[in-house]
Structures are given as structure tokens and as C-alpha cells.
Amino acid sequence: QVQLVESGGGLVQAGGSLRLSCAASGSTFSSYVMGWFRQAPGKEREFVAHISWGLGSTYYADSVKGRFTISRDNAKNTVYLQMNSLKPEDTAVYYCAATNRWGTIATISQQYHYNYWGQGTQVTVSS
């Protein structure tokens, strides 16, 4: 079965950088889309970015565009989220997700569209 394991979270000062990793296993992922979501205390889970395994096409939430970069290494079945210029409002638990369902830019940005999830990794940005 599909398993997703996140790593790379931690504590960083505002303006700093972190790189999150998501190791995927249990399937052939060539037709999958991988996404990053985050959830802060008291807030709903929100979309951050997604990438297609096959073509590497990407899409970002407006709040992170220009600061975050999603990428993948198909040989390693690993997806990354490079986070630069971090702000305190980026503090959240970050989740890796996967879907093999058809979708659009709009639908693939929605939490319900993903059928596999990792356990999450905490990112804390101090001011």
C-alpha cells in the first residue's frame, strides 16, 4: 500500500530556509500528483503546492509563490518542498499527500482530492 513519510521540519528564524522531503513507496507513481498542505492551530488545512510525477508541472498557492519551490526526484520517489524567506505565518504542520485521480488546477488544490497522506512534520518560524 502507499506510504508517505515526511521529514525536514524544524525551528527556523524568520527569513531563513528549510527543505522538506516526502518519501513515497508502495506504488508506481508516474501518473500521480503529489501535494503539500499545511495546517496551523485553529485553522483549516490549506493547499501549498503540487507537482505531477510525469511532467513535473507545478502550481503554488499565492501565499507561497516566489518563496517556496516544489520538486521531485522520480528515481528516488521523493518530493521536496524548498521553503525560503520564511515568515512566522508559515508556522504549521506540513503534510505530504498523493492522488491518482483526474483533476484540474482547481480540484487538485483541494484537500478532498488526495487519497493518501503522510503523518506531517512541524515547521516553526520564530520572529
The pLDDT of residue 117 is: 98
Return the residue matching grid coordinates 501518473.
31
CA distance 11 to 68: 17
Report pLDDT for 102: 85
For residue 106, the tally of other CB atoms under 10 A from its CB is: 9
Three-class secondary structure of residue 75 per DSSP: helix
DSSP 8-state class, residue 114: -
| Length of the chain in terms of residues written | 127
What is the per-residue pLDDT for 106?
86
Per residue of the chain (127 residues), what is the pLDDT tens digit?
999 999 999 999 999 999 999 999 999 999 999 999 999 999 999 999 999 998 999 999 999 999 999 999 999 999 999 999 999 999 999 999 999 998 888 898 999 999 999 999 999 999 9
Is the distance from CB of 97 to CB of 116 less than 8 angstroms?
yes
